[in-house]
Amino acid sequence: MPSPRPLLALALGLALLLAATPALAADPAPNLSVAAPHVRLLPPSAKNTGAFMVITNRGPRDVKLVKADNPVSRATELHTHVDEDGVKKMRQVPFITVPAGGDAVLAPGGLHVMLIDLLRPLREGEVIAITLSFDDGTRLVIDAPVTRPVAPAPHPK
Ligand SMILES: [Cu+2]
């Protein structure tokens, strides 16, 4: 009969390896964080909507948001607004830069994550898990509640 000791050593080794894994997984870029994420509630007939947030980069280098994903729309794009002859139009952008030591502000009328071709109407208050992928390899999954848009300020007369 072989001694049980080598097996015990193997089991201990495995346990140590497993215990060490979460630390490794949590390592990439703690420099990035996201504040106030939310998805704009639109009428049930709307096929697309926007997600907004502030992304902060405490690192020494600019980082680019290069991809976003979510489970409730067929496509997810990065968008900005451009002014064309006084008309604001949305335009897809290949990335959104989060400057070193600064913020990228995704807000109505400007940069945003676009949820395109919704699979179902969204409900106010439900939370959408949006995955953000950055060019330094960081991936963040953020919980963005669906919120009613704030009423626009009245036009001055
Ligand atoms: Cu858009």
Report the CATH number at residue 94.
2.60.40.1890
Q: How far is the CA of 155 from the centre of ligand 1 (A)?
A: 24
60 pLDDT higher than 70: yes
More confident position, 109 or 154: 109
> 5 lies in a domain?
no
> 84 lies in a domain?
yes
Q: How far is the CA of 108 from the centre of ligand 1 (A)?
A: 9
Six token digits for residue 23: 């630390």
The mean pLDDT value of the chain amounts to: 87
Q: How far is the CA of 50 from the centre of ligand 1 (A)?
A: 6
More confident position, 15 or 92: 92
Query: Cα(137)–Cα(29) distance, rounded to whole angstroms?
Result: 8
Q: How many domains does the chain have?
A: 1
pLDDT of residue 21: 47
> 27 lies in a domain?
no
> 110 lies in a domain?
yes
> 135 lies in a domain?
yes
> 22 lies in a domain?
no
27 pLDDT higher than 80: no
Q: How far is the CA of 9 from the centre of ligand 1 (A)?
A: 56
22 pLDDT higher than 50: no
Six token digits for residue 15: 């346990």
Six token digits for residue 118: 């919704």
> 117 lies in a domain?
yes
- For residue 97, the enclosing domain spans 32-147
> 78 lies in a domain?
yes
Distance of CA 151 to the CA centre of its chain: 25
Q: What is the pLDDT of residues 94-126, one digit of tens each?
A: 999 999 999 999 999 999 999 999 999 999 999
70 pLDDT higher than 80: yes
Q: How far is the CA of 59 from the centre of ligand 1 (A)?
A: 28
pLDDT of residue 95: 98
pLDDT of residue 5: 64
Query: Cα(120)–Cα(29) distance, rounded to whole angstroms?
Result: 34
pLDDT of residue 150: 76
